[in-house]
Amino acid sequence: MDLIHTFLNLVAPPFTFFSLCLFLPPYLSYKFFITLFGSIFSENLEGKVVIITGASSGIGEQLAYEYASRGACLALCARRERSLEEVADAARDIGSPDVITIRVDVSKVDECRHLVEETVHHFGRLDHLVNSAGISAVCMFEETDDITNFKYIMDTNFWGSVYTTRFAVPHLRCSQGKIIVLSSSASWLPAPRHTFYNASKAAMLSFFETLRVEVGSDVGITIVTPGFIESELTQGKFFTREGKIEVDQDMRDVQISAIPVGSVSGCARAIVNSASRGDRYLTQPSWFKITYWLKVLCPDLLEWIYRMSYLSEPGAPAPPTEAPSKKVLDLTGAKRVLYPSTMQSPDSKKE
């Protein structure tokens, strides 16, 4: 057995390299024409039934408006009922023929089952499931007092998407429907203080890539990996080490620094367009894909950049006001140019 592995260690790398040299040109040409075909003959969403989790704010809210503008029927869910009803009213005004709201905590499996059952009972079918509910956490791993507090991050981001998907898949098979998953570029970026958040998004990415193999062509799956997009997360709304949700814009500045933040309406439009074309992946804004290649080709360089930018010295946490990433932002005044106006206020939606 060792001899076989020694042989493969020698042969597999050059064989793979030369195979890719032959295979990539026709493959990329094929993908180009498939994308072009999908753009020309994209899915008509008029009358389609769409579930959107996390629809009370951020990307989920804007996705509701984007689907509504294309005539889709909507089942909107979130924990905040008042905000959810406001989004539903706006979606009806924009053009959705039918909108229902369901209060759901996606971290609870029974509530996810009820969401799908209520939607199918009301509309008689299901065409798109959009898993956009999520929450971020910001804390150095060794600063966590009670590590079990952070189970909620995985329960919401990962398990919340898994639960809804499990109950929706049988209905999506019947309609040849689609699943749209909001993972994150954090699934590959090792940003300090986002240990639990990054892990939850990486789990989502791996889960839905595997599920795509299992369901085959019966259900389309579009995995979205946004960069920094205006939302309550980029407004500084975090789950803290004490297990509380707070708004901390100083910490937000540390984590984002002088990186441009994208428009949430533009992101939502790109997601719906991508899903309608049947794309497998979408990174928005598209330039953020370079961070993936940096991770693949130069992981040690990427880790060094994060360590130098986010920590005062190797292995030591820097206070928000002392982190180099925040100092650069404050000294250059880049926030006024790179951050949308919605991020300048600490106010976020509340019940």
Q: Please identify every residue annotated as catalytic.
A: 197
- What is the amino acid identity at position 26? P
Per-residue DSSP letter, 177? -
CB atoms within 10 A of CB 267: 25
- Give the residue among 256, 245, 233 at the shortest CA–CA distance from 182: 233
Q: Are 89 and 70 in contact (CB under 8 A)?
A: no
Q: Give CA–CA dist 104/267, Å, rounded.
A: 24
How far from the centroid of its chain's Cα atoms is residue 151's Cα? 18
Q: Are 138 and 236 in contact (CB under 8 A)?
A: no
Residue ranges of alpha helices (H) inside 234-288 are: 249-256, 264-277
Beta bridge partners of 182: 224
How far from the centroid of its chain's Cα atoms is residue 300's Cα? 25
